[in-house]
Amino acid sequence: MSLQEIESQALLLPPGERALLAQHLISSLDEEDEIERVWADEAARRWDALVSGEVKGIPVADALADARHAVS
């Protein structure tokens, strides 16, 4: 099926279905999905390292104090 044939068929859809199709097509081009996947992988990696004891967590108050000290 050619692009023109697909477009012709798509234009026959009701407006709501065309909008949904357009949203799906645009989101398939969106790099945000890849960025979200990479961040999810990183979060999982960090969680696993924390749970396994590979890294040690620090209290948020200490982390904030360190951050404030670093920028002042």
Distance set, CA 29 to CA 11, 22, 35, 39, 56 (Å): 20, 11, 12, 18, 39
User: Residue 47 has what pLDDT?
Assistant: 94
CA separation for the pair 22, 28 (Å, rounded): 10
The answer to whether 57 and 50 are in contact (CB under 8 A) is yes
Determine the average pLDDT of the residues in 23-33: 80
User: Which regions of the chain does DSSP assign to beta strands (E)?
Assistant: none
By mean pLDDT, which of 1-15, 17-31, 56-70 is the weakest?
Answer: 17-31
pLDDT 10s digits, 31-67: 777 888 899 999 999 999 999 999 999 999 999 999 9
**Which amino acid, 52?**
S
Reported pTM: 0.47
CA separation for the pair 23, 13 (Å, rounded): 14
User: Residue 9 has what pLDDT?
Assistant: 97
Task: Reply yes or no on whether the pLDDT at 28 is more than 90.
Answer: no
